[in-house]
Amino acid sequence: MIDVLLGLQWGDEGKGKIVDFLASKYDIIARFQGGPNAGHTLYVNGTKVVLHTIPSGVFHTHCLNLIGNGVVIDPVTLQKEIDKVLPLQPDMLQRLYVSSKAHLILPTHRALDAASEAAKGQDKIGSTLKGIGPAYMDKTGRNGLRVGDILSKNFKQKYDKLTQKHLEMLRQYEHQVDWRQWEDAFFESVEYIRSLQIVNGEYWLDMHLKDGKEVLAEGAQGSMLDIDFGTYPFVTSSNTIAAGVCSGLGVAPSRIGDVYGITKAYCTRVGGGPFPTELLDETGEELRKAGSEFGATTGRPRRCGWIDLVALRYTVMLSGVTKLIVTKADVLDEFNPIKAATAYLIDGKETKELPFDLCTEDITPVYQEFDGWDKPIGSCVNYDELPHVFKDYCRFLEQYLETKISYVSNGTGRDQLLAIP
């Protein structure tokens, strides 16, 4: 079976840490969408590692890791990442597989990302500028280059043809980037990628599933950044919800088992776009400080706010989440009261449904307040030790979301994860 793990908010829910923890139960960890815009933080023997393209199972010697066809790969970032991980995990290359159908991010994709964002001015998406949008545009526009193409003799011709097209597009923009400076490194890394284990991911997974292997699909970004259901246009360019697993790995829906949905005990967002429960006051600043809320990929300060149960109920529904995981519960230790948005007030009417376009609506969140707790959650080592008020808070979340909480994460460490009975 394939279980799925994904973020239920706007990303950075702690997916990397949880996959690293759950990896001991799985034979294969597979990424199914996104690319170097992702930043998944893990602590391996006390050392902090941020993964962008490599699946978070890489630090478990029994785990195989697949970069699926739904991922977009920047060869340069992937090589750099491998160089960083190799000294910590010398056998990693034997356990890393790349789908031949994964699309490539070219230097001109990055230039187009930068130019398009600059042209948007105030309305910019706040993209990570890794070339994600333009690479997915070429995929759906049927122009893209894939990992399998780098094995063909005329790769350079294909590259030149696509780059020419991009040059035409770049001419429309005022903002110009010297992308030629990235070309040498790109071709060097393309050479390097040739030496990796390139497979037909869909057949490779089918073989392992028939062999009884357990697979965990690792989501990137968060459900509210989904291209179809997120806060469009302030989204990423892939399907981040569970549906993305089938197309992003080439597996049938009947093979999907549990869906782990991760939410922080509060909420964050990086980049532009609507965020109804955002706190622009001191409390927001305190959340940022207590949660060290700075982007793992870009270092940008993350916007912070209270947990939004209207949005969470929506994303739990979209992916059919069977097991909830609440992370960063320890961050709320110092806060009293703690708030959770249970409805939106729009035009004087209360609703528990997300409106068509969050950007155009004037939304006032309706909050339910909870007492803070009197002992730090970070030092708890099992469920029984958790403060009663926190347990009540968890029961409330479960009832509202109609989904069981399986784990609560109470620190950055690999083992700071409490199973909830």
The set of catalytic residues is 12, 40
The yes or no reply on residue 193 touching ligand GDP (CB under 6 A) is no
Q: Which helix (H) or strand (E) holds 393?
A: helix 388-401
Burial class (CB in 10 A: 0-12, 13-18, 19+), 141: exposed
Q: Which residues bind ligand IMO (CB under 6 A)?
A: 7, 10-12, 34, 37-40, 125-128, 130, 132-133, 220-222, 225, 236, 270-271, 296
Stretch that binds ligand GDP, among 180-188, 249-257, 323-331, 352-360 (CB under 6 A): 323-331
Binding-site string for Mg ion from residue 2 to residue 41, where x marks contact by CB under 5 A and - marks none: ----------x--------------------------x--
Q: What separation in angstroms does the CA of 204 have from each of 58, 92, 412?
A: 18, 18, 33
Shortest Å, Cβ 338 to ligand GDP? 15
Which does residue 14 bind out of ligand IMO, ligand GDP, Mg ion, none, counting CB within 5 to 8 angstroms by kind? ligand GDP
Nearer CB in complex with ligand IMO: 40/313: 40
Q: What separation in angstroms does the CA of 110 have from each of 135, 242, 327, 337?
A: 9, 27, 32, 44
Which does residue 328 bind out of ligand IMO, ligand GDP, Mg ion, none, counting CB within 5 to 8 angstroms by kind? ligand GDP
Which does residue 319 bind out of Mg ion, ligand GDP, ligand IMO, none, counting CB within 5 to 8 angstroms by kind? none
Number of residues that bind ligand GDP (CB under 6 A): 20
Binding-site string for ligand GDP from residue 277 to residue 306, where x marks contact by CB under 6 A and - marks none: -------------------x----------
Q: Please state, in angstroms and rounded to a whole number, the distance separating the CA atoms of residues 105 and 125.
A: 19
Nearer CB in complex with ligand GDP: 25/48: 48
Shortest Å, Cβ 41 to Mg ion? 7
Shortest Å, Cβ 36 to ligand IMO? 8
CB 218 within 8 A of CB 29: yes
Q: Please state, in angstroms and rounded to a whole number, the distance separating the CA atoms of residues 173 and 125.
A: 17
Residue nearest ligand IMO, Cβ-based: 271
Question: What is the CA 241 to chain-centroid distance, rounded?
Answer: 10
Nearer CB in complex with ligand IMO: 189/237: 237
Shortest Å, Cβ 193 to ligand IMO? 21
- β-sheet with 323-327: strand ranges across: 197-199, 96-99, 64-67, 28-31, 215-222, 2-7, 256-264, 323-327, 405-409, 417-419
* Number of C-beta neighbours around residue 346 at 10 A: 16
Site for ligand GDP in 4-43 (CB under 6 A): 7, 11-17, 39-41
DSSP 8-state code for residue 95:
G
Shortest Å, Cβ 42 to ligand IMO? 12
- The token pair at 37 is 């815009």
Shortest Å, Cβ 391 to Mg ion? 28
Which parts of 97-182 fold into alpha helices (H)? 107-120, 132-140, 155-170
Q: Please state, in angstroms and rounded to a whole number, the distance separating the CA atoms of residues 132 and 139.
A: 11
Q: Please state, in angstroms and rounded to a whole number, the distance separating the CA atoms of residues 393 and 372.
A: 10
Stretch that binds ligand GDP, among 92-100, 133-141, 148-156, 326-334 (CB under 6 A): 326-334
Binding site for ligand GDP (CB under 6 A): 7, 11-17, 39-41, 296, 327-328, 330-331, 409-412
